Homo-oligomer: A and B are copies of this chain.
Amino acid sequence: MYSEKVMDHFMNPRNVGEIEKAQAVGEVGNAKCGDIMKMYLQIENDVIVDVKFKTFGCGSAIATSSMATEMIKGKTVKEALQLTNKAVAEALDGLPPVKMHCSVLAEQAVKAAIYNYAKEN
């Protein structure tokens, strides 16, 4: 049911945790299943130099967030805004259609964090 990459990012998720002095924090909830995702960005000169996430969500939410954080690390804020849940799912060699709603959490949390950052800067 799940690709090898999904299993890998679920069993060994990258960038799990908090950034204490994050410049940007985004927290979003998933309307479908009720899960929550919190994303912390450390930004220097408009570049995302570090990113961490925390969730109580399912394996697919963990895998997509792990992959999403890898995809935006080292990118500019503007580039990170281009991230879509579809691109993340593709980078994981796909997700079962019934679990695509989980991948939305990562995209929305990145956008919420950047939105909060932009408001303050």
Contacts and interface: CB of A to CB of B under 8 A. Distances in A.
Interface string A35-68: 1100000000000000000001111110000000
Given A32-B32, A32-B33, A33-B32, A56 B2 contact: yes
Contact of A34 (B10, B56, B99): B99
Interface residues of A, number: 19
Contacts of A32: 32-33
A118 interface: no
For the complex formed by this chain, how many copies does it contain in all?
2
B58 A57 contact: yes
Contact of A96 (B34, B58, B101, B102): B34
A10 B35 CA distance: 14
